[in-house]
Structure 1
Amino acid sequence: MTWTASLYDYLYRSMPLHTAGLLTAVFLMILHGILLLRGESLRPFLAGFHRNYQAGVVLLFLGFLWVFLIWSEMDLGEFFHLESKVQFVLIAGFALFGWYVRDYLSVRALGLLMVLAPGPLLQAALLEPPTSRLLLVALCYVWLVAGMFFVGMPYLFRDLVAWVLRSPARLRFGALAGLAYGVLMVLCVYLNHW
Structure 2
Amino acid sequence: MDPAQAMHPYEKLPLFGTGLILGLLMVAGHLLMLVKAAPVQTFLKRFPRNQQLGQVLMGLGLIWFWLLVASPGKGIFHALSMDFGDQFNAAKPILRIAVPVLIFALSIAIKEFLAVRALGLLGLMAAAPILEAHFQKWPTGHVLIPLWTYGMIIASLYFVGMPYLFRDAVSWATASASRWKTLSLAGLVYGAAVVACALLFWRGY
**Normalised by the size of structure 1, how large is the TM-score?**
0.90
- Computed over aligned residues only, the root mean square deviation of the Cα atoms, in angstroms, reads 1.7
2:76 match: none
Q: Verify: 1:137 aligned to 2:146, yes or no.
A: yes
Change (3 A) 1:97 1:189: same
Which has the higher mean CA deviation after the structures are superposed, 134-143 or 164-173? 164-173
Q: Verify: 1:191 aligned to 2:200, yes or no.
A: yes
Q: Verify: 1:53 aligned to 2:51, yes or no.
A: yes
**Normalised by the size of structure 2, how large is the TM-score?**
0.85
2:82 match: 74
1:32 match: 30
Q: Verify: 1:150 aligned to 2:159, yes or no.
A: yes
The question of whether the paired residues in 2 share the 8 Å contact of 1:47 and 1:165 is answered with: no
Question: What's the offset of the Cα at 1:83?
Answer: 2.6
Question: What's the offset of the Cα at 1:190?
Answer: 1.5
Identity %: 34
Q: Aligned partners of 2:85, 2:126: CA distance in 1, in Å?
A: 24
Q: Verify: 1:41 aligned to 2:49, yes or no.
A: no
Q: Aligned partners of 1:176, 1:54: CA distance in 2, in Å?
A: 31
**Which runs of 5 or more structure 1 residues have no equivalent in the other structure?**
1-5
Q: Aligned partners of 1:80, 1:151: CA distance in 2, in Å?
A: 25
Question: What's the offset of the Cα at 1:81?
Answer: 4.9
What's the secondary structure of 2:37's corresponding residue?
A: helix
1:102 match: 111
Q: Aligned partners of 1:50, 1:81: CA distance in 2, in Å?
A: 36
Bigger helix fraction: 1
The question of whether the paired residues in 1 share the 8 Å contact of 2:66 and 2:95 is answered with: no
Question: What's the offset of the Cα at 1:94?
Answer: 2.2
